[in-house]
């Protein structure tokens, strides 16, 4: 009885789940989430640096983040970088750093965000389908070259489908959770 190495598919599935999670972290909800500032780069010390390397980001309340620079002289640069990132948030500098406020999402904006989240889910599913098709072709090629028999091909196909279903279920859960967060 032969075995099939699903490592390539598993790697692609894991990367897809990680990609979707990262995309969802960047989608703004009505709630303050430090992850939304992960993509912000600040002009500091003669180059561009990620915000988390020049400041701490904490949650002040449900719709406010507190950005505290390690070096007070960078406060204006950090404010400029957050504004330039065009995240749809308000900024206000004070003596201890920067306050980033999240406006309440309108019903229309919330629907747009949910649509965008759904589109990201479909993109992830497409990537999983491509991985499935590549693995299926590989299994069929192995059968054609007499490396495995018909029974093994059928069994590997079933194993592959179980992995695809499990991955799609996890992607769907990530979407449901993001949709619930945006609707709250």
Instruction: DSSP for 54-104, please give it.
Output: TEEEEEEETTEEEEEESSGGGHHHHHHHHHHTT-S-EEEEETTEEEEE-PP
Asked if 99 and 65 count as a contact pair (C-beta separation under 8 A), the reply is yes
| pLDDT by residue, tens only, the chain of 184 residues | 568 888 999 999 999 999 998 888 777 666 677 777 777 888 888 888 888 888 888 888 878 889 888 988 888 888 888 888 777 778 888 888 888 887 777 777 778 788 888 998 999 999 999 999 999 999 999 889 888 898 989 999 999 999 999 999 999 999 999 888 777 6
Asked if 51 and 57 count as a contact pair (C-beta separation under 8 A), the reply is yes
For residue 84, the model assigns a pLDDT of 83
Structure tokens, 167: 């991955």
Kindly list the distances between the CA atom of residue 55 and the CA atoms of 58, 59, 71, 83, 146, in Å, as whole numbers in the listed order: 10, 13, 8, 16, 59
3-state secondary structure of 178: helix
Asked if 177 and 27 count as a contact pair (C-beta separation under 8 A), the reply is no
Asked if 52 and 67 count as a contact pair (C-beta separation under 8 A), the reply is no
Q: The domain 7-25+106-183 belongs to what CATH superfamily?
A: Ribosome-recycling factor (1.10.132.20)
For residue 162, the model assigns a pLDDT of 95
Residue of 152, 163, 172 lying closest to 129 (CA atoms): 163
Asked if 16 and 128 count as a contact pair (C-beta separation under 8 A), the reply is yes
For residue 29, the model assigns a pLDDT of 64
Locate the domains of the chain by residue range.
Answer: 7-25+106-183, 30-101
- How far is Cα 136 from Cα 9, in angstroms, rounded to an integer? 10
Asked if 152 and 143 count as a contact pair (C-beta separation under 8 A), the reply is yes
User: What pTM was estimated for this model as a whole?
Assistant: 0.66
The CATH code of domain 30-101 reads: 3.30.1360.40
């Amino acid at each position: 009885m032969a075995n099939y190495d699903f490592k390539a598919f598993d790697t692609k599935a894991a990367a897809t789940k990680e990609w979707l999670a990262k995309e969802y972290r960047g989608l703004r909800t009505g709630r303050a989430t430090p992850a939304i500032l992960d993509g912000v780069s600040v002009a500091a010390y003669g180059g561009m640096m990620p915000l988390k390397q020049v400041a701490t980001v904490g949650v002040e309340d449900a719709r406010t983040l507190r950005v505290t620079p390690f070096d007070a002289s960078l406060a204006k640069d950090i404010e400029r970088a957050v504004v330039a990132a065009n995240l749809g948030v308000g900024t206000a500098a004070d003596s201890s750093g920067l306050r980033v406020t999240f406006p309440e999402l309108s019903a229309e904006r919330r629907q747009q965000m949910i649509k965008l989240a759904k589109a990201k889910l479909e993109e992830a599913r497409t990537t999983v389908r491509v991985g499935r098709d590549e693995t299926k072709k590989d299994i069929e090629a192995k059968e054609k070259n007499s490396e495995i028999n018909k029974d093994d091909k059928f069994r590997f196909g079933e194993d592959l489908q179980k992995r695809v279903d499990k991955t799609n279920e996890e992607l769907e859960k990530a979407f449901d959770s993001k949709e619930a967060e945006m609707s709250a």
